[in-house]
Amino acid sequence: MKKKILYSLAVLASIILASCNGDYDDWAQPQHNPAEEAITIPGFTATPVVQSIDCSNVTTDSVSIFTLSEAALPEGFTLDNARLEIIPQGEDNAIKKTVNASIEGKAAVADLSEVIVSFYGRRPIAHSFVAHVYLNAVKNGDAVLIDAGKFNLEMTPKSPFIDTGYYLVGLMTDWKLDTNLKFTHSEKDVYEDPVFTLVFTTKDADQYWKIIPQGNVDKGNIWAVENNPKGVVGVEKDGDDAMSGTLLTTTSKGETAKAGKIAKPGTYKMTINMMDYTYSIEQLASEYYLVGKLQDWEAEPKGKICLMYAESAVVQSYTTQWNSDANLKIWKGSDFGTWDNAFGTEVDGDQSVKGSLAGSNAIKCPEPGSFYTFTADFSTMTYKWTKLENQNPTEFENVSLIGVGGKWGDNDDVDMTQVTPHNWFIETTLPVGGFKIRANHGWNAGGNWGYTADQKFTSTGKLFNDGGSGDIKIATAGKYRIFFNDITNEYAIIAVAE
């Protein structure tokens, strides 16, 4: 009954307002719960100020959306809590989004943009909406909810220009387009995933760089100047060798993107986020180690026995029989022992055949007890498991170095340790000269590994398994850590700093 009286009073008040009589004192007990029902007041409506808003072109934090018509309130009442309920035009059953507004009809550009994004994403395309204005008439802490009407409004979200693709150019390309240096990207819309990545190698110091958008490539002129915000992408200060920072574009308005710089030779991963126009450059590690049950989760240096074999600077793999709980994580050599920096996955114990290195939880072999190759691609931060066709590889009782220091006799083998099935390791001092790796202290045991005739020494690679293989030649005497897999013939020989 009380609610009916309140509504009746509110309706009567609207009549009084319409006749410009502001002395109706019985409107002193308005509706207490404004969410239940709204009233309309004749002559009191919201009138749109604009019909279209491009949030990217608004230079202020807020924008005027509507004005309220002149209408006197009964004595003691004030207007408060203005807001817009917004839905896409023609989608009456859509979930309404609420944006707060001032009594003067202004709303925050960021709030409006997020409403558009929630319905349509960030691509800067205009969309039609219906905006419904509500506000409260308040007295003594009680409020009447007023419906001020609705109107159509076209809005475009606040988003930067993002092209479909980008390329790195610089001294390493003689400032010419090299399609091999195109940034990789997911298959998502660039406004849903604005992140692009590229792994590249510089052989010289002080390599200057800029970034070319796909539009320039399509025009046939990579240095074309386009209207803001399109154009060549670079940094503010020429020769800036910062490993992270802000990007800008060269435009017809006079802004000029300068060249960044890679100071030292090496293999790098560059990540650009074109939603906020930022970049980061990470020098990739040359060594990645597995940690897990396979080496008893040993986090001390003595646990660095499961080195991944480098298929390339960014693709690393490890082949073995994954016994016990078959769990693993990955550490860079420089981060070994720092659990917070371990590479893993989002779901602990994930046994998927492939996945993302998107967390620090343990990855698990799909079939514990089986032979698999685990491969990680650090350019895409993904991993995969590949099951070996041969689940019964030849086993050796011993694998050893032979020929160290020119000693090739039957008692001169320097035994390696089998740290995981078919993976062998030793840390030892090597003189200048050559050696081979052989199985079971003999030459006829199915294992005799060395270089091919024209093979040059590299710290990682593959050996040749044949009685006619050549020596692995060491040019600098010193202490080395040697890793070898007798299934894949992969090896790594790493000098130990003393």
Q: What is the pLDDT of residue 72?
A: 63
Segment 162-215, tens digit of pLDDT:
999 999 999 999 999 999 999 999 989 999 999 999 988 888 999 999 999 999
Among 355, 387, 419, residue at a domain's last position: 387
123, 269: one domain? no
Q: Quick one: which H or E segment has residue 10?
A: helix 2-18
**Domain shared by 150 and 173, yes or no:** no
Residue with tokens 């371990």: 342
d(CA 163, CA 232): 11
Q: Residue 392: inside a domain, yes or no? A: no
Residues in CB range of 279: below 8 A, 6 or more apart: 244, 245, 246, 247, 260, 270, 271, 272, 273
Report whether pLDDT(471) > 50: yes
Please check whether residues 94 and 140 belong to one and the same domain.
yes
How far is Cα 460 from Cα 195, in angstroms, rounded to an integer? Answer: 32
- What size, in residues, is the chain? 498
List, as one string, the DSSP characters of 203-228. -SSSEEEEEEEHHHHHHT-TT--BST
Within-domain flag for 241: yes
Residues 120 and 256 in one domain: no
pLDDT 10s digits, 257-279: 999 999 998 888 999 999 999 99
* pLDDT higher than 80, residue 477: yes
Residue 333 dihedral angles phi and psi, to the nearest 5°:
-55, -40
Q: Does position 35 have pLDDT exceeding 70, yes or no?
A: no
Complete DSSP assignment for 304-341: TT-BPEESSSSEEEEEEE--TT-EEEEEEGGGTT-GGG
- pTM, whole model, 2 decimals? 0.60
Nearest one of 95, 85, 163 to 123, comparing CA atoms: 163
Regarding whether 197 and 151 lie in a shared domain, the answer is no
Quick check: 288 pLDDT over 60?
yes
Under DSSP, the state recorded for 28 is G
Q: Which of 125, 156, 187 is the last residue of a domain?
A: 156
β 315-321/266-273 pair status: unpaired
Distances (CA, A) of 331 to 159, 279, 291, 362: 37, 24, 7, 12
DSSP 445-497: SS-EEEB-TTPPP-SEEE-EESTT-BPEEESS-EEEEEEEETTT-EEEEEEPP
Task: Tokens for 80, please give them.
Answer: 């408060």
pLDDT tens for residues 4-26?
A: 434 433 443 444 344 333 343 44
- Tell me how many domains the chain contains: 4
Query: What is the separation, in whole angstroms, between the first and last Cα of the chain?
Result: 91
Residues 368 and 421 placed together within one structural domain of the fold: no
In which domain, by residue range, is 360 found?
Answer: 288-387
Tens of pLDDT, residue by residue over 102-114, are 999 999 999 999 9
Element (H, E) at 229: none
| Residue whose tokens read 């990955």 | 330
- Look-up: residue for tokens 């001092």? 429
Q: Over 70: is that where the pLDDT of 379 sits?
A: yes
Dihedral sign from CA coordinates of 315, 316, 320, 325: negative
3-class secondary-structure state, position 113: helix
Same domain, yes or no, for 123 and 187?
A: no
Query: pLDDT averaged over the chain?
Result: 88
Domain shared by 383 and 406, yes or no: no
Same domain, 123 and 69: yes
Same domain, 348 and 414: no
Question: Are 82 and 186 in a shared domain?
Answer: no
- Which of these, 296, 266, 293, lies nearest to 349 by C-alpha position? 293
Measured CA angle at 361 (ends 357, 366), to 5 deg: 75
DSSP, res 432: S
Tokens of 33: 């719960």
pLDDT band at 143 (very low <50, low <70, confident <90, very high): confident
For residue 299, the domain's CATH number is 2.60.40.3620
- The amino acid occupying position 270 is M
Give per-residue burial for 34-52: e unless 16+ CB within 10 Å, then b. Answer: beeebbebeebbbebeeee
**Does 147 lie in the same domain as 22?**
yes
